[in-house]
Amino acid sequence: MSRSNNWSFLNTSVERSFFWSLALTALPVASSFVVSWVIARFAGDTVWGTVSWTMAFATALLIVAKLGLGLGASRLASEYGNQHTGSLRALLSTAAWMRVVITLAVAALTFAFARTIAGWFHSEALLWPIRVSAAIVVCASIYEFQEHFLVGLNRHHTVSQVRSAHLLSRVVLTTIVVTAGLGATAVLTSYVAAWIIGIAIFALLLHRFLPPVSDPLPVPQIRRRLLAISLPLAVSSASVTIYTQMDKLMIGYFDTVEEVGQYAIARAVTEVSLFPAFALVMTLRPALASRFASGEVDTGAALIRGSLRLSLVGGVLFASLFGVLAVPLLTFVYSDTFAYAGELMALFAWVIVLRSMSALVLPALVAAERTRFYAWLTAGTAALNFVLNIVLIPRMHARGAIVATIVSYTVLLLFGLAQVFGIFKVQVGRRAVSLALRTVLAGAIAAAVTWGINARFPAPADWSVVGWALGHVALYSVLVLAFRVVGKRDLSALGRT
């Protein structure tokens, strides 16, 4: 096979990669929104709460099952795809077998002790959802590993196509199950079926298109390098899971499954708001890795500066929007039952800004192979988050989990960006500070105007609230352009790097 028919590292501009990465990140956001809407609106908050709790539990199990091997293999795929294409198959098989063995062990233990685990949470109704979570662990682990490997090769276009098939399958199967009134366990089983479809497609493509083995690096050398990168990432992955999933488990322990459902809806809307930042992260991971490996630190610094600015603009946009219109928007989309979730979004607005900016930290540190620092940083802030959850959730319920997240992400952002700026020699001058202040000012003015109009003429929870939201977005966009925060020249410069 010729090189043009093989999947080595695909060199493309950041602008083109970001387009596909945006599509790649938007797909799960869109499907998650549709799935959450179908379940919450037509099956009720109890089924939705059970599904959310089970997915959080499975994600916690994946901390051990994944062992950081997905991101580690992705990082090495970017390097080998440029310098050792004949070793890509050896890298894939070595990392995949390590991942599968650990994943199957975790899944087997979960299934065997499902009844005991359900007893810990004082709910016999969780028995079968926990058993199904064992299958979720296997499928999610293998599927995510395959995705990360191709993202490392900068194959965002291919991944987006496969992800489309997987997520469309999930939406269709979930809709069928909910329409039939089959309950939470059946919904979770439909998730498993959709993952199997994606896994099969990825397996066929990787077998067909990876370059043939040619003078490969020794497997022990690949394994040592893989573990050196992956083990610290396993620690950081555990920490991220504490931020994003453990709070649901703890709310379920201290409160009710309905409280979990309300919190999960607000959290899901927050994730929707973060998809532009996550798309940027998926683009930056291979882009920064390839540039750092070739010594182009100045180009990496330019990427970081431009990306951080765009992340702040996106974060402030969604934070200002949900800070004033969350209740009518969520009750319109999900029903009046979830008005409380809309109230929670006022606090989640702060999380949106913090996570939009801190999303840059991981790809930059992975590119520079500073995974050990990231592991220590996320472990420390996750421990802080865990302690705050224990203290605040019994007193403040779901709001306590949000406050714990805000404090923890603030610490992660400050220390993480300091390290990234030092590695890539990013200078923060008066212009950068001025741009940040102008971005926040644009969001504050847009929010104040929308809030003032809403106070006098309350936005109804019907289709007209969409017009209110579009008006807010338009006003913010005009202010951002008027304050010269982002211009066409800035976007073109970022795309050329």
User: Which residue ranges make up each domain of the chain?
Assistant: 3-496
Mean pLDDT in residue range 96-108: 93
Q: Which two tokens stand for residue 479?
A: 């202010």
Show the DSSP H helices in 113-183 as ranges: 114-120, 127-152, 156-179
pLDDT beyond 60 at 379: yes
Place of tokens 């439909």: 190
Lowest average pLDDT, out of 44-58, 237-251, 409-423, goes to: 237-251
Give the pLDDT confidence score for residue 105 in this predicted structure: 96
pLDDT at 360: 79
Q: How many CB atoms are located within 10 Å of the residue 216 CB?
A: 17
Q: Write down the pLDDT at residue 2.
A: 40
In 3D space, the residue among 348, 372, 337, 161 whose CA is nearest the CA of residue 271 turns out to be 348
pLDDT at 421: 87
Structure confidence at residue 85 (pLDDT):
78
Instruction: Please state, in angstroms and rounded to a whole number, the distance separating the CA atoms of residues 116 and 319.
Output: 41
Q: In this model, does residue 138 exceed pLDDT 90?
A: yes
The whole-number average pLDDT for the span 405-409 is 91
88 CB contacts (<8 Å, ≥6 apart)?
7, 8, 77, 80, 81, 153, 210, 211
Phi, psi of 358 (to 5 degrees): -75, -15
pLDDT for res 128: 94
**Model pLDDT for residues 432-477, shown as the tens digit of each residue:** 889 889 999 999 999 999 999 888 887 776 788 888 999 999 999 9
Residue 1's pLDDT band, with cuts at 50, 70 and 90, is very low
Mean pLDDT of 165-175: 93
User: What pLDDT does residue 206 have?
Assistant: 86
Q: What's the pLDDT score for residue 430?
A: 85
Residue-wise pLDDT for 233-287, tens only, equals 676 666 666 666 778 888 888 888 888 889 988 988 888 888 777 766 666 666 6
Q: What is the DSSP letter of 460?
A: P
Q: Is the pLDDT of residue 95 over 80?
A: yes
b/e code 35-62 from CB counts within 10 Å (16+ = b)? bbbbbbbebebbbbbbbbbbbbbbbbbb
- In the DSSP assignment, the letter for residue 229 is H
pLDDT of residue 406: 93
pLDDT reading at 492 higher than 70: no
Q: Which two tokens stand for residue 30?
A: 């869109």
| C-alpha torsion angle, residues 477, 351, 15, 441 (rounded to 10) | 30
Q: Which residue has the higher pLDDT, 103 or 70?
A: 103
Residue 12 pLDDT exceeds 60: no
| Three-class SS of 75-86 | HHHHHHHHHCHH
Mean pLDDT (the chain, rounded): 83
List the structure tokens of 490: 């800035």
Q: Pick from 233, 278, 225, 227: which is nearest to 373 by CA?
A: 233
Query: For residue range 352-373, what is the model confidence (pLDDT) as tens digits?
Result: 999 888 877 877 777 777 777 8
Of 446, 468, 486, the residue nearest 317 (C-alpha): 446
Most confident of the following: 19-23, 28-32, 343-347: 343-347
pLDDT band at residue 490 under the 50/70/90 scheme: low
From 7-11, 70-74, 355-359, 402-406, the region with the lowest mean pLDDT = 7-11
Residue 20 has pLDDT above 70, yes or no: no
Tell me the residue length of the chain.
497
More confident residue, 118 or 372: 118
User: Would you place residue 3 in the very low, low, confident or very high pLDDT band (cuts 50, 70, 90)?
Assistant: very low
Q: Are 361 and 417 in contact (CB under 8 A)?
A: yes
- 8-state DSSP, 6: S
Using pLDDT thresholds of 50, 70 and 90, give the confidence band for residue 403: very high
Q: Which of 97-111, 316-330, 363-377, 401-415 has the lowest mean pLDDT?
A: 363-377
Report the pLDDT value the prediction gives residue 487, as an integer from 0 to 100.
63
Tokens 């067909």 — which residue?
208
pLDDT band at 10 (very low <50, low <70, confident <90, very high): low
Q: What is the mean predicted confidence (pLDDT) over 136-159?
A: 87
